[in-house]
Structure 1
Amino acid sequence: MATSGRASSKGPIAPSDTPEAHADAKVEKAPDDSSKLKTFLGILRRFIGVSDLAAIRFSLPAQLIEPIPNLEYWNYLDRPETFISIGDSEDPVGRMLGTLRFWFTKDLKYVKGKPVKPYNSVIGEFFRAQDTSLPLKHPNSAPPSSAASINSKNSEITATSGEKVRVSFLTEQTSHHPPVSAFYIDCPQKGITAKGYDHLCAKFTGTSIRVTAGAHNLGIFITLDNRDGEQYQLTHPAAHLGGLLRGTLSISVADSCFVVCPKTRLKVILEYLEEGWLGRTQNKVIGLIFYYDPANDTKTKIKEVAESDIVARIEGNWQDKIYYSLGSTPFAKAAEKIELIDLNPLFPVEKSVPPENMQLPNESRRFWKGVTEAIIGRKFGLATTLKQELEEAQRKKEKEREASGTEWQPRFFTGAVTPVGKPDLTPDGLKALDGLHKGVFELEDPKEYAAF
C-alpha cells in the first residue's frame, strides 16, 4: 500500500529509542578531536596486518562518529553544477575538460572539511536527494575547448539563462559482506547520468590508513545521451588517511587514475605526486588528455604517451587551483595556461531530501534519527546503545535469511554487485528517481525490510 502524507508506522525499533530514554540519558562532555583520535588509534592498533578493515565493519563508540549516514556522506555531487555541465561543450576535448572539472569538485568535502567517520550503512538502507542548479556559463572569450567557468568571487554559478536544472541522486546498500552500495545520478534535462558501485578496501599500516577501490568498484560511469551516448569511465586513485599520530587527520593522494571515453578516443591520465622534502609538491597533480586506442589501451603513465597524441596538459593543486594548456607543449613552456577550476571559493552544496514524513523507515536520515539526535545532544552513551541495537537487529535478520537459505535482493537496483561495475535500476528505482524529478516523494513500503 502506498504511503500517504505520513510516514509508515513501521520502523527500526530500538528498545532504548523512546522519549523517556532520551529524556533520562546523561549529557556528556564532547571529546576534542585529539582525544577522539587517540581512542580511534587505540582501536585501530588491534587491526594491524588485517588486509581489509572495511570488510570487518567493526563498531565504534558514538563519540567517535560524525552524526551523518554513510550513504548521504559518500556521494559525488558536492558541486552539482559541474556534473550537469559536462556535456555542454560542442567540442570533445571541452567535454573531457568538463568531466575533469566535475572530477576535481566531486570530493570537495575532503578539501574543505576534515575526514570523518559516518555511520556504517545497513543492508537495504537507502538515501535519495535532489538539487536544482544553474548550469555553468561558456564565456565567449574562452578558447573553443574551454568547458565553462565558475564565478570565483562568490562561488555562485555564472549562467547563460535563468533556467535551473534538477539532478537527482539515489543510492542503496546492496550488500553487507562485502559492504557495497550502488548509486545512480540522473539529470533528464541535460541527458546525463552517472552510476557505479561504491566498495572500499582499507588497511591500517600503523601510522595511516590506506584506502583503495574494492573489487566491485570500477569507478564512475557517466553517459551523455545528448552526445550520441558518449560514456566516460572515471577510476579512483588510492588515498592515505594520515595524521593519526599528530592528532590532525589529513588526506593525501600519491597514485594515478584515469578517465576514458571510447567513442571520442580520448583518455586522461592524472598523476597525484608524492610529497617532496618539506612538502614542496604537496597536493600536486599533473596530467594529459590524449588520443588512445580503445582496443589496445596499454598506456598508464604520462611518460608512455607520444607527444603526437597529446591534445592538452593538466597541472595544479587538487586542493587549490587546476590549470590546463592546449597542445603538446610542456606545461611550463605553454603560451597560455587556462584556469580549469578554482576550488578556494567553493563549498559542498546542501542536498534537498524528502520531508521526514515522506521517508520510509529504511531511508538513511530516518533510520539513524535516534542515534543522530543523541549524538547532537551529547548523549553518547544512549547513542552507542541505540546504534548497537540497530546493528544487532541487522545481524539477527541476516542469520534468519541464512537459516532459511534466502538471499537478499536490493529494491532499487537489479543486483547486489551486478552488472559488473555498472548497476541497473529496477522499476522501483526508476519510479523513485522519477518522483525526485517531479517532487513526488511517496513510495510504497517494501515487501520486507532487510535490517529490522
Structure 2
Amino acid sequence: MGLVDTLTKSARRSSTTSSEGATMAAGYSAERAPDGNPDDTEVLDKEEGNLVMALISQLRIGMDLTKITLPTFVLEPRSMLERITDFTAHPELIFGAGKIEDPKQRFLHVTSLILAGWHIKPKGVKKPYNPVLGEFFRCTYHYEDGSEGYYVAEQVSHHPPISAFFYVSPRNRVIITGELKPKSKFLGNSVATILEGEDRVRLLDRPEDGEYTITMPNMFARGILFGKMLLELGDFSSVRCPSTNYSCDIEFKTKGWISGGYNAVSGTVKGPGGTAGEIAGHWDQSMEYKDKGGRKQVLFDAATTKVVQKLCLPEAQQEPNESRRLWAGVTRAIKAADMEAATAEKSKIEEAQREKTRAREASGQRHQLRFFEPVGEKYMPNIGVDRQVSGAPLAKQSPDEMARTVKEWLFGEVSTSPSQSVASGTQATPLPPSASVSHFGSETATMASTASMQSLNSVAAVPVHVTAPGPPVDGPKLSIPPPHAH
C-alpha cells in the first residue's frame, strides 16, 4: 500500500470518529496531528472531510499544488492581494524611524514590521483566493495624526504566480515595494507554502540607508487529513540592510514531536561590530530584543495593539478586475455557508481567466500590466519611484506633492479616491485628531499636523467601505508605540 493510500485510509477513518479516533489514526501517518490553542484550530465535519479526501486521492508527496483546485470551505474570503496588507497594518512601528540617529534602532523598527503582521489570521487553516492575472487591490489608510497611506497590489504573473505590491505614506516618509511568489507542496498531513520573494523598505528621511530587504518564513497547514487543522510558520526570515551592515536571521520555530510550543521565534541581530543582541518571543503574542548588556525592549505586542483599518471604494465603484468586486460572488456565498454556490462562482472566475488566456494566445498579444513594470527580477510601481515619469521622481517629491501624485496614479482622479468624509447615508469614520506624538524609546518625534492635508481631503466625498485587514477588530488606532526600552 502506497503512502497516499495509507494516509487516505487513515483520514477516512478519522472523518467518522471523535478526536480520540483522530489520535488513533495518527498512528498510520508519518506526521503528528496538531494540538494547538483551541482558538487557532478547527475540525472538519464529515462532508468537508469527504471533499478533502477526493482531493487528496489525486496527490503525491512533494507534489506542487499550484494547479490544484481547493474546496471552497478552506478559503479565506479575501484575495491574497488583500491579505498582503496585513504587513502594513502596524505602520506606527516604522513611522518616524528615519529620524532616529542610531542605525541599530532604525534596523529594529524595520524588523518589528515583518514580525507584526502574522498574528492577523482566521481560525484554523484558511487560504486566500489565488489572484487571477491582472487582478488588483487598492486601498487608503487614514492615521490618527492626519497622515495617510496608500497601497496597491497586482497579480503580474499567473504561471508562476507573482503578486507585486507597493505601499507609501508620504508624510511619514516610508515606501515599501516587493513581490510574493508562493509555491505550495503536499507533505502528507500538511501542505507547505513556500513564500519566495521579498519586501523592500525605504526610509526616505535616511536615503543613505538604501533598502532594507526582508524575506518571508514558510507556512504549514497542519492536520489536513486527520486531527485538528492548524497554521504554523516555519524556517527562516531574513532582514538585511547592507548600507548599515545590520542583519538578522529570524527562525520561526515549529512545534517538535515531544517538546516545544507553537509560534515561537528567535533571532540574532548582527551589526558592524558582530553580534548586537537577540530576538525572542511568539509571533502571535509579544516579541522583544535584548542587547548584549541585558537591556530589553519590546518589538511588538499583539495583545496591546490594534490594526489600522483600510478604506476601499464601494464594490459598485470598483473596476471589474478589482479584488473585492471580482470575488464578490464567492465571498457572499462563503459568508452564507453556501459552498455549492461558492464553488460555482469560483469556477466562473477561473473559466473566464482561461478564456482570456486562450484569446491572448490566439491573437499573439501579451498581458499588459496596470500598476507595475518588471525591473530585472523585481516588479516596481510604474509611477517612477526613482526615475522621472511626470515631474520629479517620487522619492524626491515633497509629502504634499507625493500624495497628489500617488492619488492621481492610483485612482485616476484625486476626487474618486476613498475619503475620510463619506456621503450621506453611509457610515462615517471618525475624523482623526489634529496631531499625535510617536515615542521612540528616549527619543520623541512630533508628527505633522493635518493642515497641509486638508486640501487633499476636501475633495468631493464618496462612500467608502471601512474594513480591517483581517478578523473583525476595533479601530482605527496607533495605540502602541514603536519598540521601546523597559
TM-score (norm 2): 0.66
Alpha-carbon displacement from aligned partner over 1:266-319 (angstroms, at most 9, x marks no partner): 111212334345443433222122125xxxxxxxxxxxxxxx512222122222
Contact 1:254 1:271 (8 Å CA) reproduced: yes
Contact 2:74 2:125 (8 Å CA) reproduced: no
Cα 1:233–1:405, aligned 2, differ >3 Å: closer, same or farther? same
Residue 286 of structure 1 corresponds to 266
Post-superposition shift, 1:339?
2.2
Residue 124 of structure 2 corresponds to 114
Aligned equivalents of 1:89 and 1:61: distance in 2?
A: 48
Cα 1:343–1:261, aligned 2, differ >3 Å: closer, same or farther? same
Contact 2:407 2:414 (8 Å CA) reproduced: no
Alpha-carbon displacement from aligned partner over 1:341-380 (angstroms, at most 9, x marks no partner): 2122345443211123331111111112222223333443
Cα 1:229–1:183, aligned 2, differ >3 Å: closer, same or farther? farther
Aligned equivalents of 1:277 and 1:93: distance in 2?
A: 37
* Greater per-residue strand proportion: 2
Aligned equivalents of 1:321 and 1:37: distance in 2?
A: 35
Aligned equivalents of 2:239 and 2:372: distance in 1?
A: 25
Residue 172 of structure 1 corresponds to 154
Post-superposition shift, 1:392?
0.8
Contact 2:138 2:152 (8 Å CA) reproduced: yes
Among 222, 228, 243, which residue is 2:201 paired with?
A: 222
Post-superposition shift, 1:120?
2.1
Post-superposition shift, 1:174?
0.9
Aligned equivalents of 1:115 and 1:345: distance in 2?
A: 24
Post-superposition shift, 1:50?
4.9
Please tell me whether residue 367 in structure 1 is matched to residue 329 in structure 2: no
Residue 416 of structure 2 corresponds to 440
Aligned equivalents of 1:288 and 1:224: distance in 2?
A: 23
Cα 1:102–1:363, aligned 2, differ >3 Å: closer, same or farther? same
Alpha-carbon displacement from aligned partner over 1:409-444 (angstroms, at most 9, x marks no partner): 2111113xx4313423257995555549956339xx
Contact 1:131 1:166 (8 Å CA) reproduced: yes
Cα 1:314–1:62, aligned 2, differ >3 Å: closer, same or farther? closer
Post-superposition shift, 1:234?
0.5
Post-superposition shift, 1:223?
0.9
Task: Work out which structure has the larger RCO, using CA pairs closer than 8 Å and 6 or more positions apart in sequence.
Answer: 1
Code of the residue aligned with 2:59 in structure 1: it is: F
Contact 1:129 1:436 (8 Å CA) reproduced: no
| Structure 2 residue matching 1:107: 3-state secondary structure | coil
Superposition RMSD in Å: 2.8
Contact 1:414 1:426 (8 Å CA) reproduced: no
Please tell me whether residue 131 in structure 1 is matched to residue 88 in structure 2: no
Q: What pairs up with 1:324-339 in 2 under 5 angstroms?
A: 324-327=289-292, 334=294, 336-339=295-298
Code of the residue aligned with 2:178 in structure 1: it is: G
Contact 1:168 1:185 (8 Å CA) reproduced: yes
Contact 1:166 1:437 (8 Å CA) reproduced: no
> Structure 1: which 4+ aligned runs deviate by more than 6 Å?
none
Residue 21 of structure 2 corresponds to none
Residue 144 of structure 1 corresponds to none
Name whichever of 432-441 and 221-230 sits farther off: 432-441
Post-superposition shift, 1:408?
0.8
Cα 1:254–1:382, aligned 2, differ >3 Å: closer, same or farther? closer
Name whichever of 42-51 and 87-96 sits farther off: 42-51
Code of the residue aligned with 1:87 in structure 2: it is: G
Percent same amino acid among aligned pairs? Answer: 29
Post-superposition shift, 1:229?
4.8
Code of the residue aligned with 1:94 in structure 2: it is: Q
Among 101, 104, 107, which residue is 1:90 paired with?
A: 101
Contact 1:291 1:310 (8 Å CA) reproduced: yes
> Unpaired runs of 5+ in structure 1?
1-30, 135-162, 293-307, 443-452
Aligned equivalents of 1:392 and 1:48: distance in 2?
A: 26
Code of the residue aligned with 2:216 in structure 1: it is: H
Residue 182 of structure 2 corresponds to 200
Aligned equivalents of 1:273 and 1:372: distance in 2?
A: 33
Please tell me whether residue 405 in structure 1 is matched to residue 405 in structure 2: no
Residue 40 of structure 1 corresponds to 52
Code of the residue aligned with 1:43 in structure 2: it is: L
How many residue pairs were aligned? 355
Alpha-carbon displacement from aligned partner over 1:182-209 (angstroms, at most 9, x marks no partner): 1001111111111111111111111111
